[in-house]
C-alpha cells in the first residue's frame, strides 16, 4: 500500500515535517508521500472539506490550527482533549480522530537521551505556560512527575496551566525571579518559551546561577543549534537536552499512530542534526 500524509498550517511551507516523514517511510520500507497543505485562516473550512474528499491516511496540524481543528474531528483522544490541542489526525474508517504527540514526544526524547531518568522522582520546573508547555506538562504529569512547578511571565496563564494537574502531581506557580532563586530544588528544567530563538539568540529567560549539577536543563527551541540557556547549563556542569529530539519524536509518534508500527528514530535525530548544522538557509 502507499500512504498519503500531510500537514495543515499557516505558514507551513518551510516545515521540516516532509523530510522527517520521508525518512520514516524509507526506514520502515513503506511507500508514501507527505504533502504540505499551507492554508490561510479564511480558507481553512474549505480546505478541510476538500481533505475529507481525498484518501488521506492522516495529517499533522500546526500553528495556528491546533485548537481550531477540534470541531472538525469525529473524536479526540483523552490526552489531546485534556491538553485542548490536536497536532495529529488519524483517518480511521473514514473518521477523523485527533491526538496530540507534542508533549509525549518531549518525554520520549528525554528518556532516549537519559534512559536512567526516573520520572517518578523528578522535580520539574517548567518555564512558560503556552501551547507547548501544556502538552509537556500533561505528559510529564502522566509519566508520574511528583512536582511540576510553572514559572511564567504572566501568572494567570501559569494558573490556567496548573489546572491540568494530575492527582499525584504537586504544582506551584512562580514568577521567573522566584524560579531563578529556587533553581537548586529541581532535577529537570524545561524551557518552553520562544525566548532565545533565532534571531534573538542572546536572549535567555532566566539565569542558571543556582542550577544543581545533577540537573538536566532542556530547551525545546531547536534553532539556534545550541541556545544560550543550554550553553550556560553546560558551562555550569549540568546535563542538557536540546529540542531536536522532541521535534523528531513527536513526528515519530504520529507516524506510529498512522502506520501502527514502531519507529526507532535515534538515527534520524542524528541525521537531522547534521542537516541543521549544514543548513544556512534559515
Contact footprint for ligand ATR (CB under 6 A): 128-133, 152-154, 157, 192-195, 205
Of residues 11 and 237, the one with the C-beta less far from ligand ATR:
11
Angstrom CA distances, 271 to 66, 161, 181, 241, stand at 28, 34, 38, 17
Judge contact between 142 and 166, C-beta under 8 A: yes
220 in a known ligand binding site: yes
Cell 474531528 -> residue: 73
Q: Quote the least distance from Cβ 2 to ligand ATR, whole Å.
A: 33
87 in a known ligand binding site: yes
Of residues 20 and 126, the one with the C-beta less far from ligand ATR:
126
Q: Quote the least distance from Cβ 43 to ligand ATR, whole Å.
A: 22
Q: Per DSSP, what are the bridge partners of residue 123? A: 147
Name the residue with the smallest CB distance to ligand ATR.
130
- Does the CA dihedral 160-164-167-171 come out positive or negative? negative
Of residues 10 and 239, the one with the C-beta less far from ligand ATR:
10
270: Cβ contacts below 8 Å, ≥ 6 apart = none
Of residues 32 and 131, the one with the C-beta less far from ligand ATR:
131
**Choosing from 13, 66, 121, 231, which is the catalytic residue?**
66
Q: Quote the least distance from Cβ 102 to ligand ATR, whole Å.
A: 9
132 in a known ligand binding site: yes
> Cα(116)–Cα(119) distance, rounded to whole angstroms?
9
List of E strands, 39-122: 58-61, 75-76, 88-92, 95-99
Does 66 participate in catalysis according to the annotation?
yes
Cell 542534526 -> residue: 273
Q: Quote the least distance from Cβ 9 to ligand ATR, whole Å.
A: 12
Identify the H or E element spanning 45. Answer: helix 44-53
Judge contact between 219 and 244, C-beta under 8 A: no
222 in a known ligand binding site: yes
131 in a known ligand binding site: yes
Q: Report, as residue numbers or ranges, the catalytic residues.
A: 66
Annotated binding site for shikimate: 15-17, 62, 87, 102, 222, 250
Annotated binding site for NADP(+): 128-132, 152-157, 220, 243
Amino acid at each position: 500500500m502507499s500512504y498519503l500524509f500531510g500537514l495543515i498550517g499557516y505558514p507551513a511551507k518551510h516545515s521540516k515535517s516532509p523530510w522527517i516523514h520521508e525518512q520514516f517511510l524509507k526506514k520502515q520500507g513503506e511507500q508514501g508521500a507527505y504533502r504540505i497543505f499551507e492554508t490561510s485562516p479564511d480558507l481553512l473550512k474549505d480546505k478541510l472539506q476538500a481533505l475529507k474528499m481525498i484518501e488521506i491516511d492522516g495529517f499533522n496540524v500546526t500553528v495556528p490550527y491546533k485548537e481550531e481543528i477540534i470541531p472538525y474531528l469525529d473524536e479526540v483522544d483523552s490526552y489531546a482533549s485534556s491538553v485542548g490541542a490536536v497536532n495529529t489526525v488519524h483517518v480511521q474508517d473514514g473518521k477523523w480522530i485527533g491526538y496530540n504527540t507534542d508533549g509525549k514526544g518531549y518525554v520520549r526524547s528525554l528518556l532516549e537521551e537519559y534512559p536512567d531518568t526516573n520520572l517518578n522522582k523528578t522535580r520539574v520546573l517548567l518555564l512558560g505556560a503556552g501551547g507547548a508547555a501544556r502538552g509537556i506538562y500533561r505528559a510529564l504529569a502522566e509519566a508520574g512527575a511528583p512536582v511540576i512547578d510553572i514559572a511564567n511571565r504572566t501568572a494567570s496563564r501559569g494558573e490556567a496551566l496548573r489546572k491540568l494537574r494530575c492527582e499525584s502531581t504537586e504544582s506551584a506557580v512562580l514568577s521567573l525571579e522566584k524560579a531563578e532563586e529556587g533553581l537548586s530544588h529541581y532535577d529537570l528544567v524545561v524551557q518552553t518559551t520562544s525566548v532565545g530563538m533565532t534571531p534573538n539568540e542572546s536572549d535567555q529567560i532566566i539565569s542558571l546561577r543556582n542550577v544543581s549539577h545533577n540537573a538536566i536543563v532542556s530547551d525545546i527551541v531547536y534553532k539556534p543549534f545550541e541556545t544560550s540557556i543550554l550553553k550556560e547549563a553546560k558551562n555550569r556542569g549540568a546535563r542538557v537536552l536540546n529540542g531536536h529530539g522532541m521535534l523528531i519524536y513527536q513526528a515519530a509518534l504520529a507516524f506510529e499512530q498512522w502506520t501502527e508500527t514502531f519507529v526507532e528514530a535515534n538515527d534520524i535525530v542524528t541525521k537531522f542534526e547534521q542537516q541543521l548544522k549544514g543548513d544556512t538557509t534559515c
